[in-house]
A = this chain, B = another copy of it.
């Protein structure tokens, strides 16, 4: 990760941004790979709100710059690698690209690609993410495979938001005496401080984050043997295991499980899948730095090729 390796003599910094449905994390490093500092911002999923996502990236960037003791004006010397949830959809990719960003250059991709680059130190591999949302991604021999990443409420099975939604459904069925009242009912009504129809008022219009906040209670209940919660967690974990098996068909050299629910959902997944998992080498924000390196390098090589062609 040195300037020599990059074949570049440019001056400046690299910023890696990992933006998800709950928060946005930025890492700033020098061109020769020295880590300078971090910054945090709010939710950065353009699927939820493009303006909010951009605001969160700006906050995380400003914090990272301040955290490193740099002058805010240095933002114009930054090569930013940005990985965002939702930009697998062209409509959101294009919307973020229209942002009049303050960086020297911005390279945009999915949060999945930077997570995969980070988890395997820039090499081929696969990742399964179980956080606010859920999805799978593999990059092998230049071919990427995506699985899930469809978003709340139709996709993201096995994610925190999905678990929260399934729990709310079960609690509302129980409130109507059309489903069993279990310890999960008490946990959810306790956490929301609401019963029956008041739960609907509390959750009405709520996005994935609000539902994902309920996931730890669902897993707690499942661990304590609650039948309804166990059904939810087992079904979610089974889906994640299926995603892993599907990605494994691409023969990735490594596979990692990532996301806020990683440690809690792992014991519920198939043992054969768990046996294939390796710990991630870097966090996704560092993956975003590596992504910016790679894209800048590609651009530099293209320029060199063009120069060669022009000389030739």
Contact = CB atoms under 8 A, between A and B. Distances in A.
Interface of A: 47, 88-91, 146-151, 153-155, 165, 168-169, 172, 176-178, 197, 200-201, 203-204, 239, 242-243, 246
B200 A176 contact: no
B176 A154 contact: no
Contact of A178 (B88, B91, B239): B239
A172 B200 contact: no
What is the copy number of this chain in the assembly?
2
A90 to B, nearest CB: 7
Nearest to A91: B201
B178 A153 contact: no
Nearest to A167: B154
B178 A243 contact: yes
A172 B89 CA distance: 14
A172 B155 contact: yes
A153 B165 contact: yes
A154 B203 contact: yes
Given A177-B246, A239-B178, A200 B148 contact: no
Contacts of A148: 176
Nearest to A203: B154
